[in-house]
Amino acid sequence: MTARLWWGTYPEAGLGTPTGTGEGLWTQTPDDARLALAMDAPSWLVAHPSLPLVYAVSEADASVIHAIDVSDPDAPVIAASLPTSGASACHALLAGGALTLYVAHYVSSELAVIRLGEDGLFEDDAPAQSFAHAGTGPNVARQDASHAHFVAYAPGRRHLLVCDLGTDELRRYAIRPDGLLDDEGIAATLPPGTGPRHLAVRGELIYVLGELSTSVLTLRWDHAAGEADLIAQIPATTAEARSAEARDSSGILHVEHDGGEALLVGVRGADVIAVHDLSPEGEARYRGSFDAGHWPRHFAVIGDRLHVGCERGHEVRTYALADVLGLAPEPEVGLVQELPFASAPLPSPAFVMPA
């Protein structure tokens, strides 16, 4: 394991329960894991590239983003806080110049644009821009409204894309030189009931994770049109649901390695991480799935390890990346394989990043 990790956690009773019940920013070292700073549900963290600052999104009814001074990693302190003017903020992207933060809100569906100063702190007392969206999808329980879930650069980095789980769309925003945005409509409309959650970019290809369809969709970006066309869709895993009545996908990660490239895909309910190999042309081919603990929410490759937050299992797991990338092809359809891992108890882990 790396010398130190930061973990953001949900309330111990789980996502959707009242915040401010002991959750916060945890620090994990090879010898210990402890709560370093209490705060409401920091479900997504972003590190400043050059300053000792971590931005933490509090996923609450009235969401807040915090700038945390981690100069002393044993005693982090909140340097500044800013209401994001939305409900249930769940993802943040720091622009390349580190002067703009983009925050997606799941419940209220706004995309908030927050300006930062050279010192990394907030320039204003409110977001500089806020973009709302409306619409529904066929899944009555989950697509009753628009739900902005994830923000990413499109290929070429001239546009931002927002995964809208509620409307089965990738929303498109043109990026101005100062980091502010212009709403340019919809870049892609996905099959009904997809529920796009996250995406990963490889060259001109975009891999979209369908949370509700439990699938991986491959799209090709058209630079001239600013649109993405669906070219393939495959199941995220063949593993059946084990800890819930249904499965839903939780995260997608593009990994380059000596043997080539792969996508790692988390699937809750089935409680696995699936390995998909990528051909030189970018075609995703399912290889197999391994047990990843109860409700794998967020996972990240840090150095030569894969760290997994098992939200409902109240543990964090660490796998050797070589073992993950060396997973055997599925020996029989639906079989969940086992890999060695180290485990540490931690309540409701939601996000991990290196300190």
Question: Using an 8 Å Cβ cutoff, are 331 and 338 in contact?
Answer: no
For position 31, what pLDDT does the model report? 83
For position 32, what pLDDT does the model report? 87
pLDDT-derived band of residue 184, with 50, 70 and 90 as boundaries? very high
Gap between the Cα atoms of 295 and 11, Å rounded: 15
Q: What is the DSSP string of 86-152?
A: SSSEEEEEE-TTSSEEEEEETTT--EEEEEB-TTSSBSSSS-SEEE------S-TTT-SS--EEEEE
Section 273-301 average pLDDT: 98
* pLDDT tens for each residue of 148-168: 999 999 999 999 999 999 999
Gap between the Cα atoms of 91 and 45, Å rounded: 8
Section 290-300 average pLDDT: 98
Residues with Cβ within 8 Å of residue 89, at least 6 apart in sequence: 44, 57, 58, 59, 60, 63, 64, 65, 103, 104, 105, 106, 112
* pLDDT tens for each residue of 114-143: 999 999 999 999 999 999 999 999 999 999
Pairing mode, strands 349-354 and 64-69 = unpaired
Section 285-295 average pLDDT: 98
Question: Using an 8 Å Cβ cutoff, are 292 and 317 in contact?
Answer: yes
For position 17, what pLDDT does the model report? 84
Q: Which of 162, 156, 282 is nearest to 223 (CA)?
A: 156
List phi, psi (to 5°) of 167.
Answer: -115, 0
Q: Which of 316, 320, 322 is nearest to 6 (CA)?
A: 316
Which CA distances in Å does 314 have to 284, 319, 344, 348? Answer: 31, 17, 9, 5
Q: Is residue 21's pLDDT more than 90?
A: no
For position 175, what pLDDT does the model report? 98
pLDDT-derived band of residue 221, with 50, 70 and 90 as boundaries? very high
Section 308-315 average pLDDT: 97
Question: Using an 8 Å Cβ cutoff, are 190 and 168 in contact?
Answer: yes
For position 209, what pLDDT does the model report? 98
Which CA distances in Å does 182 have to 59, 111, 123, 323? Answer: 25, 12, 20, 44
Section 79-93 average pLDDT: 97
Q: Is residue 107's pLDDT more than 90?
A: yes
Neighbouring CB atoms inside 10 A of 194's CB total 28
Section 278-300 average pLDDT: 98
Percent of the chain with pLDDT over 90: 94
Q: Is residue 2's pLDDT more than 70?
A: no
Mean pLDDT (the chain, rounded): 96
Strand order in the sheet with 336-337: 248-257, 260-268, 272-278, 284-291, 336-337
Q: Is residue 43's pLDDT more than 70?
A: yes
Specify the range with the lowest mean pLDDT, choosing from 14-18, 35-39, 47-51, 258-262: 14-18
Query: What's the half-sphere exposure (Cβ side, CA atoms, 13 Å) at 41?
Result: 23
pLDDT-derived band of residue 30, with 50, 70 and 90 as boundaries? confident
Gap between the Cα atoms of 155 and 206, Å rounded: 8
Section 339-354 average pLDDT: 97
Q: Is residue 305's pLDDT more than 90?
A: yes
Q: Give the residue extent of every domain in the chain.
A: 238-355
CA trace torsion 109, 100, 126, 90 (10° rounding):
30
pLDDT-derived band of residue 1, with 50, 70 and 90 as boundaries? low
Chain mean position to CA 37: 22
